C-alpha cells in the first residue's frame, strides 16, 4: 500500500520541524562538514546533535560518510538548499506584511493620541471591576 503524496509531504515537513535540524541544514548549504564543526557552530550537546542528525539521515535529507576517523555530513540534494532559500523568502514576505500592518496600527494610534488620555488603564480598571 502506497502513502498518499500529501501524507509523504507532511512527514517531510515534520522532519524539518526542529530548530536544530534547520540549523544543520543551513550550515550544510555551504558544503559538507564533519560533526565536530557542526558541534562548534550549534550550541547543543553531542548526543542531542547525534539524534537530530540521525533523523535527517533516516529521512534521506543528509548523507554521512566516514573520512579520516570523523563523520562528515552533506545535503543529499542541492534542492534542500533551494527549499531553505524559499522558506527565507516566504518569511521575509510574511514579516514585511506584518511590518506594514504594525506601521498602520502605530499610525492609527498616533491619530488617536489627539483624543483625551489613553484609555488602556481605564479599560483595564473597568474590566477588573467586572
CATH number at residue 21: 1.10.10.10
pLDDT at 105: 87
- For residues 11 and 33, state if they share a domain: yes
**pLDDT band at residue 3 using 50, 70 and 90 as cut-offs:** confident
**Site of grid cell 516566504:** 90
pLDDT at 118: 52
- For residues 67 and 99, state if they share a domain: no
**Site of grid cell 524539518:** 16
- For residues 56 and 97, state if they share a domain: no
* Longest distance between any two alpha carbons in the chain, whole Å: 73
Helix, strand or coil for residue 112?
Answer: helix
d(CA 54, CA 46): 12
Query: pLDDT by residue (tens digit) across 25-80?
Result: 999 999 999 999 999 999 999 999 999 999 999 999 999 999 989 999 999 998 99
Would residue 124 count as lying in a domain? no
pLDDT at 129: 57
Helix, strand, coil shares, percent, the chain, to 5:
65, 10, 25
pLDDT over 70 at 86, yes or no? yes
Amino acid at each position: 500500500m502506497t502513502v498518499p503524496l500529501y501524507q509523504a509531504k507532511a512527514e517531510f515537513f515534520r522532519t524539518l520541524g526542529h530548530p536544530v535540524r534547520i540549523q544543520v541544514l543551513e550550515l550544510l548549504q555551504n558544503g559538507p562538514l564533519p560533526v565536530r564543526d557542526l558541534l562548534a557552530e550549534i550550541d547543543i550537546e553531542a548526543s542531542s546533535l547525534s539524534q537530530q542528525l540521525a533523523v535527517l539521515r533516516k529521512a534521506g535529507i543528509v548523507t554521512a560518510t566516514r573520512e579520516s576517523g570523523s563523520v562528515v555530513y552533506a545535503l543529499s540534494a542541492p534542492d534542500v538548499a533551494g527549499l531553505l532559500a524559499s522558506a527565507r523568502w516566504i518569511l521575509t514576505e510574511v514579516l514585511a506584511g506584518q511590518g506594514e500592518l504594525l506601521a498602520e496600527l502605530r499610525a492609527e494610534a498616533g491619530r488617536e493620541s489627539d483624543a483625551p488620555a489613553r484609555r488602556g488603564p481605564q479599560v483595564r480598571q473597568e474590566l477588573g471591576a467586572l
